[in-house]
Structure 1
Amino acid sequence: MVGVGDSVPALSWPQLDGTTAELAALRGRPVLINYWASWCGPCIKEMPVLDAFAAEQGEHGVQVLGVALDSEVAVREFLAKLPVDYRIALEIPSADDSSVRMGNRQSVLPFSVLIDAEGKVTAQKAGSFSHKALAQWTSQAVHQGNLAK
């Protein structure tokens, strides 16, 4: 299980388009991984916040990756109703899924992990964000020099 300051393990997830999201391929820019599920009320409320945040980041800011701990069918149905523009990957929830390995000891959703451009965990958070709280959370890490390459 990784904590703040640790290097992230090599992780990859299938995506809805049949490709694979590989965490190592996202190095060079900060990454926000957000674990969620279609049945999770706080996750649903947070998704438009994450979508707006991702859009604000442009091609040099924080990358957003949503990892759905859910079935492919449920995720497809959910995204048909509430589409987002950031990348969505899939994982079957388990006692040893990547959210647990990334520090989600309580298996709480949503769960977010902020990773710097070098692949080290800079922050972890259980629970949802408001737009303001998300901006402050990521900005604080940037100003501390944790995320800038």
Structure 2
Amino acid sequence: MKPLKVVLVTVLAGSISIGTAIFGQKWLGETPLVEGLSDRTQSRLHTLPDFRLTDLDGREVASNAWAGKVIVLNYWATWCPSCLEELPLFVSAQKALKDSGVQFVGIAVDRAEDVRAFIAEHPLDYPVLIADLQAVELSKKLGNRLEGLPFTAIFDRHGRKVFSQLGPMTESELQTQLATLVAPSARRSASAD
């Protein structure tokens, strides 16, 4: 290969790498390599906003219905295998922690009739709401930049987001996140179950 071609290929490869790094970070919402490239912190939410979604009976439910509680907001769907794997963990945690002020809330990114059929066979003991476009946008603002499922966000009793994760949660991850938010006596009784 001629020296000029080697230089051109090297410059082209370097340009592609730098461009990918800058725009890849922009796409993923990471801090840009070039200072001032964009400021996405304004669009990110650090507190649970007021929102209204319908439940499986078609009733509108407002997010302030759980004010003063630790809220575990979980986006899921009946067609998502990872989502279905973590649901039993959330059901047992809701049962164990309901008296300690922890409220799980499912947001199904699915058709209401599919969710109703699923819940008829696999009951959930916490509210399930049906996502709309605003709910999907809310998940992005809460940290779900890839819009994947399952996605979980946890809020303290003051509505401040303390955790978010794309992908299924394990029991130890959930316990770790809730440990500092739940009273010690409630944690002991939950571990005894």
Question: Could you say what secondary structure the match of 1:58 adopts?
Answer: helix
Residue in 2 that maps onto 1:53: 93
Paired amino acid for 2:63: L
- 1:7 matched to 2:47? The reply is yes
Q: State the distance in 2 between where 1:140 and 1:84 align.
A: 25
Aligned length: 141
Q: State the distance in 2 between where 1:47 and 1:73 align.
A: 18
Q: State the distance in 2 between where 1:93 and 1:41 align.
A: 22
Deviation by residue 1:21-61 (Cα, 9 ceiling, x = unmatched): 21122111110000001100000010011000000112233
- 1:81 matched to 2:121? The reply is yes
Segments of 5+ residues of structure 2 without an aligned counterpart are 1-42, 184-193
Report the structure number with the largest CA radius of gyration. 2
Q: State the distance in 1 between where 2:80 and 2:136 align.
A: 19
Paired amino acid for 1:108: G
RMSD: 2.1
Residue in 1 that maps onto 2:21: none
Q: Which has the higher helix share?
A: 2
Identity over aligned pairs, percent:
29
- 1:126 matched to 2:166? The reply is yes
Deviation by residue 1:58-104 (Cα, 9 ceiling, x = unmatched): 22331100000111111111112211111111113579532223221
Q: Which has the higher strand share?
A: 1
Segments of 5+ residues of structure 1 without an aligned counterpart are 144-149
Question: Could you say what secondary structure the match of 2:100 adopts?
Answer: coil
Question: Could you say what secondary structure the match of 1:57 adopts?
Answer: helix
Q: State the distance in 2 between where 1:96 and 1:76 align.
A: 20
Q: State the distance in 1 between where 2:160 and 2:54 align.
A: 22
Question: Could you say what secondary structure the match of 1:63 adopts?
Answer: strand
Q: State the distance in 2 between where 1:132 and 1:52 align.
A: 13
1:70, 1:92 within 8 Å by CA — same for their partners in 2?
A: no
Q: 1:95 and 1:60, CA in 2 relative to 1: closer, same or farther beyond 3 A?
A: closer
Question: More relative contact order in 1 or in 2 (CA 8 Å, sep 6+)?
Answer: 1
Paired amino acid for 1:46: E
Residue in 1 that maps onto 2:76: 36
Paired amino acid for 1:16: L
Q: 1:133 and 1:96, CA in 2 relative to 1: closer, same or farther beyond 3 A?
A: closer
Paired amino acid for 2:67: R
User: Which TM-score applies when normalising by structure 2?
Assistant: 0.66
Q: Where in structure 2 are the equivalents of 1:14-33 lying within 5 Å?
A: 14-33=54-73
